[in-house]
Chain A
Amino acid sequence: MAWFKRKKKPLTGAVEAKKVQMPEGVWTKCKNCDEIIYTKEIERNLNVCPKCDYHFRISARARIDLVLDGGSFEEVDAGMQSVDFLGFKDSKKYKERIKAALAKAGGGDAIVCGTGAIEGLPVAVGVFDFSFMGGSMGSVVGEKITRIMEKGLELKCPVIIFSSSGGARMQESILSLMQMAKTSAVLAKLKAEGVPFISVLTDPTTGGVTASFAMLGDINMAEPKALIGFAGPRVIEQTIRQQLPDGFQRSEFLLEHGMVDMIVQRQEMKARLAQILRIFTKS
């Protein structure tokens, strides 16, 4: 739900990621190391800072191009859209927010799902798009994840979800919460059937997404320095009334505390996924 806050706070990740993709932005300032870098250089480096290794947020489409074999991706449920069934209204109606997000993104919602291949190995994948309402999980995201996992069950092929989300979508209140149960329940079936689930955590993955399917990978993989946690850093600071230590809730912190299996560079992501898939699907 961080996308609300960003309206008032200094624009960080989203805008920089955009800058990275803007042709007229010749130079980009890295949010992590403050270096001014030639934008083309960052792009050539898969949107990773060549100076400090900071992994900029990327779109779902860019992620798909990066990880799946060229031309292998077949999208499913592309037309599924959110509904304002509660008549939720804050400064703006949810209905209006959906409309604006749809216009900006050209359709869809906060996740893109489909089937494809990684080095020739069939996979069912879901990729979050943080730029769509902060990657928040409402009915659409929960339903698409559940369906792609059911697809994995049906095809007996591994499921990979790339998360980037502020958590549950507040505007769908209780039904957003229930998506956590739904997406976790289907994983019990995958486990029983021996279908592998790989969860890739990218910046940021927090709240109800972390506290459901995203932490339940047979393998939990994280990109470097990604923010990953249950409660937001601000909420924790307000509760305990002290500053959080450096590196708190970053990928490296989660690795140290035993919550993720490995941290994988974006450049090595595809090869590493293929390596794991071959081990887990040896027949």
Chain B
Amino acid sequence: MQHYLDFEKPIVDLQQKIRELRDYSTDNVDFSSEIKKLEKKATKLRDEIFSKLSRWQRTQLARHQDRPYTLDYIEHVFTDWFEVHGDRNFRDDPALVCGFARLDGEPCAVIGHQKGRDTKSKVYRNFGMPNPEGYRKALRVMKMAEQFGLPIFCFVDTPGAFPGIGAEERGQAEAIARNLREMAALTVPVIVTITGEGGSGGALAIAVGNRVLMLQYSVYAVISPEGCAAILWSDGARGPEAAEALKLTAADIDSLGCVIDEVVPEPVGGAHTDYVLAAANLKRSLKKHLGELQALSGEELVEQRYQKFRAMTRVQE
């Protein structure tokens, strides 16, 4: 683990101790019983910490520096990947990657937000915040998938659509809105997974799916906790309180019963501790849902998706 959160530190410290003991072990000095004890302790500690995470801690996990991003899932879940670039209008947007691949041999389109890991790549990826071009590229690829009868997999991980002058000039709102309408009418299966941060309209713009899944430690909300706190208390630092109020965790949203179809389990300790296992869990779910959706006609897929979102209502009459 390269980076760790405050609440991960005790676990990281123990793991470091275990590593050191291993290094000191020689043919003459045997620490194996100590190591075993510490490993047991580390597992217990991790289980304990992860069994009672606050909503803010889960938000932090969703944003973890080492968390697998779209390109990581593409590497571990799909084969034959090739990326396509540009919205054929203005430019390419590296904050949103699009392309084609195979899922166990089955050709498909893959679309997802992409964040960077070091300073340079973070800037290049604009911290995973797309401009209108990103959404228009995504729509172009979705339409292409429809043209060739390919299912679409979307991976959502963004703080939100980029709030900038250029983005407004080029119609950020229109780009998002158009995707919402056009995605609703796609005649191929659309399977969406919230992998990290599901931030507002910028997330939703690639998230109108026949199935919407959330990874266990992902979050999804109408506004970021910091943005919410800035409005409620004029103090962005009160994000932890806002996270509680927004009920943004996978478990919270699952409990509403109408928004997501499945919570995909992550390795204990979070997806960043074991990319291979995290991707294997995700792949199993994606295949299951794809199998179910492939039984539906294009028309049925449109209707199923429409009725799914149509039912997302809580009112009193």
Contact = CB atoms under 8 A, between A and B. Distances in A.
A216 interface: yes
A278 to B, nearest CB: 26
Interface residues of A, number: 67
Given A174-B222, A177-B200, A178-B259, A229 B168 contact: yes
B312 interface: yes
A230 B201 contact: yes
B227 interface: yes
Interface string A69-97: 00000000101111101101111000000
A257 B309 contact: no
A5 to B, nearest CB: 7
Given A178-B309, A259-B171, A1 B184 contact: no
A235 B314 CA distance: 29
B222 A176 contact: yes
Given A174-B256, A184-B177, A230-B161, A258 B313 contact: no
Interface string B167-197: 1111111101110111011000000000000
20 contacts: A8-B234, A79-B317, A81-B315, A82-B316, A139-B315, A168-B200, A172-B222, A180-B177, A181-B208, A184-B181, A184-B184, A185-B184, A187-B181, A188-B185, A211-B172, A211-B205, A215-B177, A231-B168, A236-B163, A239-B162
Contacts of A211: 161, 172-173, 176-177, 201, 205
Nearest to A4: B231
Given A211-B177, A231-B163, A146 B310 contact: yes
B163 A235 contact: yes
Contacts of A244: 165
A5 B222 contact: no
Contacts of B42: none
The 9 closest A-B pairs by CB, nearest first: A231-B163, A185-B184, A184-B180, A230-B173, A210-B173, A178-B312, A90-B232, A188-B185, A211-B176
Given A177-B222, A184-B177, A184-B181, 13 more contacts: A83-B315, A90-B232, A139-B313, A169-B222, A170-B223, A173-B221, A178-B312, A191-B181, A207-B201, A211-B205, A212-B201, A239-B163, A257-B170
B263 interface: no
Contacts of B185: 188, 192
Contacts, number: 192
B169 A257 contact: yes
Interface of B: 161-165, 167-174, 176-178, 180-182, 184-185, 200-201, 204-205, 207-208, 220-223, 227-228, 231-234, 245-248, 253, 256, 259, 305-306, 309-310, 312-317
Contacts of A83: 314-316
A248 interface: yes
